[in-house]
Structure 1
Amino acid sequence: MAVPEVLDRIPLLSGAPRTVEALPGGMTNHTYKVTTPGGAYVVRVWTGDDWLLGIDRDAEHAASLAAAAAGVGAPVHAYLPELGALVVGFLPGRTFTRADLRDPANLPRVVRACRRLHAGPRFVRDFDIFGLQRHYLGIVRERGYRLPPKYLDFMPIAAQIQKCLELRAEGTVPCHNDLLPGNILDDGRDLRLIDYEYAGNNDPCFELGSLANECGLPPDGLERLVTAYYGRRLRHKIARTRLLGLIARYVWTLWASIQDGANDSIDFDFWSWGTARYEQAVAEFAGSGLESLMEEAVRAD
């Protein structure tokens, strides 16, 4: 269905003068800013690969409502699954970049936004990165999508990390789980978090590890992030965050493989995106410090 037809079937946006502007950056949606006399809105139109990617649109809608209630997400105006569309309020502000996330001055602001979300209403589903990997790997194998060289060789190490993390699990909070720089908006005062496709209750160390991945933080930068989040330096949390960041790189490689094989509606080099993350994961899997990280993650501070 063409975008004008979708908009015509959304009561909030039909029957009034409007301007439509495509927004860049979406990797699983086509996203548009729609301006009417009544206000400005963002319409997210799905590309249709939801099941393949482990996306539950009902859960995304519920998480978007919860994030808005926590004061960190955009207001939700309409949810139309029959049209494959979600309508939220347009938040004025500037999209973050990797450089913004590496700026020490922004560290407290990012931590505040994460903690507001994590202290908000719980989400309707949990997020399990290891379960998601099993789902993705099954699809890749079944459909014959590409895998990077020796990907499967690291599965036993990933399983060992999972067992290590389970020894000291300390509960879950509502997490975004996909904090790319483009999902963080700066309105000049507060930071807001958008796009809740992968949102679910999760270990906050996964949130911090993913964030560190996406902004390219070195180990000392990750340590500052974790220390700011918890209010003091906790060695086991730092180690846990590094391990979950490693697993995130490893698993999102499969996400990229699926997108590379199945998504022809978005002009993006998914394979190169995933390969870059895989190469970073391999360097950590093969590094000399992995065993000590796992020991640190289970010991008392």
Structure 2
Amino acid sequence: MAVPEVFDRIPLLTGVPRSVEELPGGLTNHNYKVTTPGGAYVVRVSASDGALLAIDRDVEHACSVSAAAAGVGAPVLDYLPGDGVLVVGFLPGRTFTEADLRERANLPRVAEACRRLHAGPRFVRDFDMFDIQQRYLRIVRERGFRLPPKYLDFMPDVAKIRKCLEIRDEGTVPCNNDLLPGNILDDGERLWLIDYEYAGNNDPCFELGNIWSESDLPLGHLEELVTAYYGRRLRHKIARARLLGLMSKYGWTLWASIQDGANESIDFDFWSWGMEKYDRAMTEFTDPGLARLMDEAARTD
């Protein structure tokens, strides 16, 4: 569907003067800021086969509505079922960068935004990276997409990590699950969390570990983020977030493999992006301290 046709089908944008600006970012969609006399909006148009990546646009819409109700997501204004088009209010503010996450003063602010989301209405589905990774692996093998060298060698470690995390499982909360710096907005007073393609009820430590992993933050930053989130230093929670951050790298590596093999509509080097994550994952899998980390995650402080 051509972009002008999409805009003409959205009641908010029909028959009114409008200016359109394509927004940067978005590896599975195209984002446009549309300004009219009545206000400014963001129109998200799907640009990939979401089904391969475990993206369900109806679920994304429902989770976006819940995030808005929690006071941490943009207001949802329209949705075109079947077309992969979501319209949300434009949030004025500055998009975070990795440099912002490396600034320690921002870590309590990020933790507070996560707590607001996690305390909000539960989402309509669950998200478990162990299950997602298995699903991605089946797709990669069935379709003959590239698999990183020695990728399967670490599957026994993944099984051990999953088993150890079951010992102190405390349930799930509604999580974004994809908090790249570009999905965090700063309006000068508070932070907003956007983009709910992968949203689902999940272990809160995955959210924290994923933030750490996606921006390749120092370990000390993860410890501060987890401590700010829980209000006190909990060794087993820090270990849990580290292990789930490792699973984030390992699982999203296959996301990149699928995008590399199936997505021709976005000019981006998905393979190199994924291999950077995989290289860091291999370093953690082969670290002699991995067994100790699993022990810490399973024990009380």
With normalisation by structure 1, the TM-score equals: 0.99
Equivalent positions of 1:115-194 (< 5 A) are: 115-194=115-194
**Secondary structure of residue in 2 paired with 1:12:** helix
CA contact (8 A) 2:21 2:33 kept: yes
Q: What is residue 238 of structure 1 aligned with on the other side?
A: 238
TM-superposed CA distance for 1:51, in Å, is 0.7
Aligned partner of 1:24 in structure 2 is 24
Where structure 1 has 5 or more consecutive residues not aligned to the other structure, the ranges are: none
Moved more, 156-165 or 250-259: 156-165
C-alpha displacement of 1:190: 0.6
In structure 1, the residue matched to 2:250 is 250
Q: Is 2:41 the partner of 1:41?
A: yes
- Segments of 4+ moved more than 3 angstroms: none
Structure 1 residue 14: deviation in Å?
1.0
Q: Distance in 2 between matches of 1:125 and 1:25?
A: 25
Aligned pairs (5 A) from 1:1-301: 1-301=1-301
What CA deviation, in whole Å up to 9, does each residue of 1:8-61 have, x standing for no partner? 111111111111111110100011011111100000000241110001111111
In 2, the alpha carbon distance for the partners of 1:248 and 1:83 equals 29
Question: What secondary structure does 1:206 align onto?
Answer: helix
Question: Structure 1, residues 74-104: CA drift from partner, whole Å, max 9, x if none?
Answer: 0000010232200000001100000001101
In the alignment, the residues of structure 2 paired with residue 150 and residue 108 of structure 1 have an alpha-carbon distance, to the nearest angstrom, of 38
Quote the Cα distance in structure 1 between the aligned partners of 2:132 and 2:224: 28
> Would you say the 8 A contact 2:33–2:40 is kept in 1?
yes
Gaps of 5+ in 2: none
Residue type at the aligned position of 1:105: A
For residue 198 of structure 1, what is the amino acid of its counterpart? Y
Give deviations 1:123-151, integer Å, cap 9, x for gaps. Answer: 01110111101110011001100011100
Deviation digits for residues 146-192 of structure 1 (CA, Å, limit 9, x no counterpart) = 01110011111111111111111101110000000000000011100
- Looking at structure 1, the residues matched to 49 and 232 of structure 2 have their Cα atoms a distance apart, in angstroms, of 41
Count of equivalent residues: 301
1:105 is paired with a residue of what secondary structure? helix
Letter in 2 for 1:79: Y
Is the 8 Å Cα contact of residues 48 and 265 (structure 2) preserved in structure 1?
A: no
Q: CA deviation at 1:216?
A: 1.9
- Residue type of the alignment partner of 2:96: F
For 2:283 and 2:82, the matched residues in 1 are separated by: 44
SS at match of 2:32: strand
- Residue type of the partner of 2:61? H
Identity %: 75
Secondary structure, counterpart of 1:120 in structure 2: coil
When normalised by structure 2's length, the TM-score is: 0.99
Distance 2:267 2:180 in 1: 18
